[in-house]
Structure 1
Amino acid sequence: MEKVTKILVHLSKNNVAPQCARFAQGHCYAETGKGLPQTVSTVESTESPGMSLYAVASITGHFTETLDEVEVKCSLENNRFTLCECEKGRGIPLKRATFCPFKYLSVAEAAAIPLDVQSRGVDVGVAILLQSANQKVLLTRRTSSLRIFPNVWVPPGGHVELDERLLDAGLRELREETGLKLDPGDVSAQLLGLWESVFPPMLSRGMPQRHHVVTYMLLNTSLTHQQLQASLRPEPAEVSGCLWVDASLVKAIVSAVDGEEGSVTPLEGVAPTISVSEVSPEGVLSESDLPLSVLCNRAPNSGEDVERVSTGTKYALELWLKNLEGQGTRC
C-alpha cells in the first residue's frame, strides 16, 4: 500500500470505490457532438472513431455536467477526504466559481500542465468562520508576500495535516494565524459548505498551479468580538490585517459578485469606511480605516490581483447569512 504523505481529495460516483482525484480531473470519452456542455473543449479520438476526448477537469464538474453548485456527501477517514454523490437536500453544498479555470480547460491545455503540478492531486483546506456572541465574523488579510492569493481577505485557515480532524485542523490554523486559542469544548462547530479553489482563479491570469477543496466551518463562541479582539496575536508572516464583519457589511460584500460587470449599489446603513486592525511586521496591531469599496472589489480578469474579499469567502459568507436567517436572527 502506498504511503500517505498528505490529505488529498478522493471521489466516488455510482457506488464506485473512491479514487484519488487528479489535479486536472480526468479525461473521458463521449459520442462526438452528443451530450456535452458547450463549455467543454473536445478533440476527436484517434483510437475510437466517432468518439471525442474531453477533459472533465473540475471536482464540481465530476458530479454535475453544467451547474456550478451541487450537493455531495463528504467524510475524512484514514487520511482521505472523500466526496460522493447524494440526493438533493441530503448533502453539503459544493461550489466552484463561474469562471473556474478547470471548467474551460482544453485537453491540450490540461496536457501542458507541468508534471510536477499534475502530480500534486487536489489538496484539502479548512477555513474557520469564527462567529462571536454578538454575531460578527473574523476575516484576515493575507500578507502581500504570500505566493497564493496575496493581499486578499479570507477567514483564518490552511491545510489539513495527517491524522487531524477538520475541527482540530481549523482550531490549529486559527491559533497559528491569529493567536486565538480555543478548545473544541469552547465552540459549537458546523460544516457550512465546500469550495473548489483554483490558483490563479482564471485562465486569463495563467494556467492552474494549485487546486484545493476548502471546507468552510462555522464556529460559534460565547465571547464577544471585543473579547476575542483583545486576545488577537496575528502572525505577521501570514496576516497583515484583521476585520470583524457583521451581517449588514457582509451583505454589501457579497453584492459585488465576481465575474459580473457593473457598479455595486451602496447599501443603506453601511459606512463608507470600515475600521480594521493593521498588523505591523512585528505583529503590533493598530487601527485604520479601509474604504468599503476595497472589500467590494471584484476579482480582475487579467493583470495583478487587487485587495478584495476572495470569491470563496464571499460564498462562505452567503452561507453564513443563510444560517443566521435559518436561526431566526434578524439580518
Structure 2
Amino acid sequence: MLKGATMENVRKVLVHLSKENSRPQRANFQQSIVGHFCAACKDSLMVNCGLNQHQFLISDTAFAGSRQVLLQRPPFCPIKHLSDAQAALLPAETRDRGVDVGVAVLLQSASQKVLLTRRAKDLSIFPNLWVPPGGHIEPGEQLLDAGLRELQEETGLCLQAGEFSWKMLALWESVYPPMLSRGLPKRHHVVVYLLLLSPENHQQLQMRFKPDEAEVSAYTWLEPQVLASVAATEDGARHTMKVAGDLPQVIRITELEHGSAKTTTIPTATFLNTAPPEGEDVERVSTGTKFAIRLWLDTLAPQTE
C-alpha cells in the first residue's frame, strides 16, 4: 500500500498538483494508481476523486466534495509492467518526483465538433501528438479553473461562466514514454478529462483564438464520424478495430509557424496512426485522448438515436 493510505480498510492516494508542492503523502512513481486500488490484471475501476487541502485525492470511498468517476490505464502502462530490476535503474529524481496531476479539456462546439491541438515538436513529453488543450493544475486551483486557464493559455480562447456547461469525464493514468519498450518511465501523471459544451459553433469559437506557438503547432475541429474511427484505432491492441470506410481522405487543420497561421490539410490516416512499440514516435492522437473520445461518443449516443 502506498504512503498516503492512512485509514484502515480505506485505500487512497494523494497526487502532486505541481513539482513544487512536496507534501510527504503522495502517490509513488513506481506504483500504478489503478493497480493500487485493484488487482494488477484490471485496468479500470470506479473511484472517488477531488481536491483536498491543495492536493488531488483519489479514494475508494466518498469524501466531502468528491466525485465518483472512472479511472483508467492502458493495458501496456509502463508502471504496471515495471520490474523491480527496472525500477532500480530509475534516477533518484525520477523516483522521488511522484505522480503529477493534470487536466485536459474536451471542448465540444454547438455543431458537435471537438477541438484537438497538436503539441509543439520541442516539448519534453509527448511532442507532436494530437491532444485536447490541457496541462498541470496549480496549487489552489479548482479543476475547472485549471482547465479554463490551460485552454486560454494554449488557444487564447477565454470562456466565462455562463458561456458553457461542463462535466468530468474520467481519470487517465499517463506515463512517458508510453511503453517500456520505448524506454524507462520519466514522467507519471493522472490526467483529469473535462468535457466543456459550448452553445457556439466552432467557427465562432475559432474567431477568438490566439494560439501559443510554444505549446501548440496546429489545431483542428473533428466531427463525430472521424473521431469514432480515431477512437477505434486502439494502441497496443493485437487486432485492429474496424474503422469507417467513408472517411474523408484529408483533414483540414490550422498550422502555426513563425507567428502566422495558415489553413492546410494532412492525411486522415495521420489521426489513425497507433503508437509504435519501438523507435521514434509518430504524429498521432494520444492514447489517453482516444479513451476520452470514446467516453465523449457515449454522451452523444442518446442524441443520435
- Same fold at TM > 0.5: yes
Is 1:313 matched up with 2:279?
no
- Indicate which of 22, 44, 57 corresponds to 2:28: 22
Do the aligned partners of 1:10 and 1:81 also contact (CA within 8 Å) in 2?
Answer: no
Hey, what's the Cα distance between the residues in 2 that align with 1:273 and 1:261?
Answer: 27
Hey, what's the Cα distance between the residues in 1 that align with 2:5 and 2:175?
Answer: 18
Secondary structure at 2:303 match in 1: coil
Identity of aligned residues (%): 48
Do the aligned partners of 2:11 and 2:37 also contact (CA within 8 Å) in 1?
Answer: no
Do the aligned partners of 1:11 and 1:21 also contact (CA within 8 Å) in 2?
Answer: no
Hey, what's the Cα distance between the residues in 1 that align with 2:240 and 2:190?
Answer: 30
1:323 is matched with 299
Larger deviation, residues 302-311 vs 101-110: 101-110
Hey, what's the Cα distance between the residues in 2 that align with 1:61 and 1:263?
Answer: 26
- Tell me by how many angstroms 1:268 deviates: 3.7
Is 1:93 matched up with 2:67?
no
Which residues in structure 2 correspond to 1:159-308 (within 5 Å)? 159-261=136-238, 265-282=242-259, 284-308=260-284
2:48 is matched with 73
What code does the residue aligned with 1:161 have?
E
Hey, what's the Cα distance between the residues in 2 that align with 1:194 and 1:300?
Answer: 24
With over 3 angstroms needed to count, the CA separation of the structure-2 counterparts of 1:157 and 1:77, relative to structure 1, is same
1:157 is matched with 134
- Tell me by how many angstroms 1:178 deviates: 0.2
Hey, what's the Cα distance between the residues in 2 that align with 1:270 and 1:86?
Answer: 44
2:22 is matched with none
- Tell me by how many angstroms 1:171 deviates: 0.4
After superposition, the C-alpha distances for 1:171-218 in whole angstroms (9 at most, x for unaligned) are 000000000011233221100000000000011111100000000000
Secondary structure at 1:306 match in 2: coil
Hey, what's the Cα distance between the residues in 2 that align with 1:181 and 1:165?
Answer: 16
Structure exhibiting the larger radius of gyration computed from Cα positions: 1
Hey, what's the Cα distance between the residues in 2 that align with 1:11 and 1:274?
Answer: 47
- Tell me by how many angstroms 1:91 deviates: 2.6
With over 3 angstroms needed to count, the CA separation of the structure-2 counterparts of 1:10 and 1:79, relative to structure 1, is farther
Secondary structure at 2:154 match in 1: helix
Secondary structure at 2:97 match in 1: coil
TM-score, normalised with respect to structure 1? 0.82
- Tell me by how many angstroms 1:286 deviates: 1.0
Hey, what's the Cα distance between the residues in 2 that align with 1:298 and 1:11?
Answer: 36
After superposition, the C-alpha distances for 1:281-302 in whole angstroms (9 at most, x for unaligned) are 21x2211111111100000000
After superposition, the C-alpha distances for 1:228-284 in whole angstroms (9 at most, x for unaligned) are 1111111011101101011101111011110024556441432111111111121x2
Report how many residues are paired.
286
Do the aligned partners of 1:12 and 1:83 also contact (CA within 8 Å) in 2?
Answer: no
What code does the residue aligned with 2:290 have?
K
Hey, what's the Cα distance between the residues in 1 that align with 2:135 and 2:144?
Answer: 12
Do the aligned partners of 1:296 and 1:309 also contact (CA within 8 Å) in 2?
Answer: yes
With over 3 angstroms needed to count, the CA separation of the structure-2 counterparts of 1:17 and 1:171, relative to structure 1, is closer
Hey, what's the Cα distance between the residues in 1 that align with 2:27 and 2:128?
Answer: 29
- Indicate which of 61, 64, 70 corresponds to 2:35: 61
After superposition, the C-alpha distances for 1:142-191 in whole angstroms (9 at most, x for unaligned) are 01111100100000000000100000000000000000011233221100
Where does structure 1 lack aligned partners over 5 or more consecutive residues? 1-8, 25-56
Secondary structure at 1:213 match in 2: strand
With over 3 angstroms needed to count, the CA separation of the structure-2 counterparts of 1:254 and 1:16, relative to structure 1, is closer
With over 3 angstroms needed to count, the CA separation of the structure-2 counterparts of 1:269 and 1:82, relative to structure 1, is same
After superposition, the C-alpha distances for 1:88-147 in whole angstroms (9 at most, x for unaligned) are xx8311111111001111112112211111111100000000111111110000011111
After superposition, the C-alpha distances for 1:52-77 in whole angstroms (9 at most, x for unaligned) are xxxxx211111111211111000112
TM-score, normalised with respect to structure 2? 0.89
With over 3 angstroms needed to count, the CA separation of the structure-2 counterparts of 1:17 and 1:67, relative to structure 1, is closer
